[in-house]
Amino acid sequence: MYIASTKTWYLERTLFLIAGLVSLLGISIGYLISPWGYMLNLLVGLNLVVFATTGFCVMSVILIRFGIPAKCSRE
């Protein structure tokens, strides 16, 4: 079993955190306020599919500009 290091906040770990938080926020908004909140989950899922198929992620571009280092190398 692989367990990632939790000593540093690298890009990939930060992306998973943001995706999880936005997904939880969408579920909370959808349940408590409006069913339109579930659209956040749809957007998170769509972004994950786009990243898996093309390798492009808008949030990673933003986080790299903030100076968060990537753990995986870009080839």
pLDDT tens sequence across 3-31: 877 888 888 899 999 999 999 999 999 99
pTM for the full predicted model: 0.82
Q: Is the pLDDT of residue 75 over 90?
A: no
Q: What per-residue confidence (pLDDT) applies to 5?
A: 75
Confidence of residue 71 (pLDDT cuts 50, 70, 90): confident
pLDDT value at residue 2: 80
Place of tokens 């753990």: 71
Q: 68 near 10, Cβ under 8 Å? A: yes
DSSP string spanning 39-69? HHHHHHHHHHHHHHHH---HHHHHHHHTTPP
